[in-house]
Amino acid sequence: MSTSRRLTLLFSLIFSLFYTIELWGQQRAQTTVSKKSQKWKLGVSLYTFSHVSFPEQLAYADSTGLEYIEGFVFAKAGTALKDSFIVQLSPKGISTLKQGIDKKKLKMESIYIIGGKKVADWKRDFEIAKNFGVKYVTAEPPRNLWDSVDSLAHLYGIKVALHNHWKETSIYWHPDSVLVALKGHPNFWACPDIGHYPKSGINPIDAIKKLKGRMLGVHLKDINEYNNNKIQDVPLGTGVINFPLLFTELKKQKFKGYLIIERDTKELPSNLQSVKKAIKYINEQNH
């Protein structure tokens, strides 16, 4: 090969290399700007993987590449803790689970609690939340315990995010009922489930407009039709919910909280691929 031919090839390779590096840098910069502009904390609810115990749920969550997770107190703790439910564990047992979270460098800043009919039931769950070190609990306290649960939230320094299910099962099915509960309870906030609203005939975008400024987190799931509480959720972006409009509304509100992907439907062998597709869909809508 002649010297001139070698030089031409060398310059060609150098140009290609610089072009590739520059393109990669531009793409990375765009991604960084996008993430900075949103400041949403994208995570996954461990209930999405409720067919397995807590350690396995963490493994699935870790595989999604997400940083944030939301736990739930009625999950099984795993064989090392005799498959007890989290709600039954001692502080030492909770510490063991927390070590698993820390080892995978995940952040569990919220947990769904169930409470009960007595204040003691709620105190028990707040203790669990405290031991996990969460910032808020997602919950559905009964009306007659609103004052007591609000007081416990103040005592423990942990906020309560009121969560909705559909009309026949939850007093929080309508955003107006959440607003009623918020009045006079400074430690109450909201964590609306987008996929549950259509079951009660409510447009999720209208709902989050009403809850503006009071949402700590949002559960993201999709549903196939309105006014049917017998059906389960479908993969994000494949149902009737207008997610582009929902994300636009969240941006308009300057929402900076948690977006928690959740599946109730149990796909086989797991919901992992569904969650990964949901992440891709969310990123495409908010690039």
Best CA proximity match to 85, nearest among 128, 43, 137, 126 = 128
Burial track 119-143 (b if 16+ CB lie within 10 A, e otherwise) = eeebbbbbebbbbbebbbbbbbbee
Q: Are 205 and 242 in contact (CB under 8 A)?
A: yes
Residues in the chain where the model's pLDDT stays below 50: 7-11, 13-34, 36-37
Query: pLDDT tens across 219-271, in order?
Result: 999 999 999 999 999 999 999 999 999 999 999 999 999 999 999 999 999 99
pLDDT of residue 246: 98
pLDDT of residue 208: 98
| CB neighbour class for 109 (10 Å; exposed up to 12, middle 13-18, buried from 19) | buried
Query: pLDDT tens across 2-16, in order?
Result: 555 554 444 454 444
Kind of pairing between the strands at 107-112 and 68-72: parallel
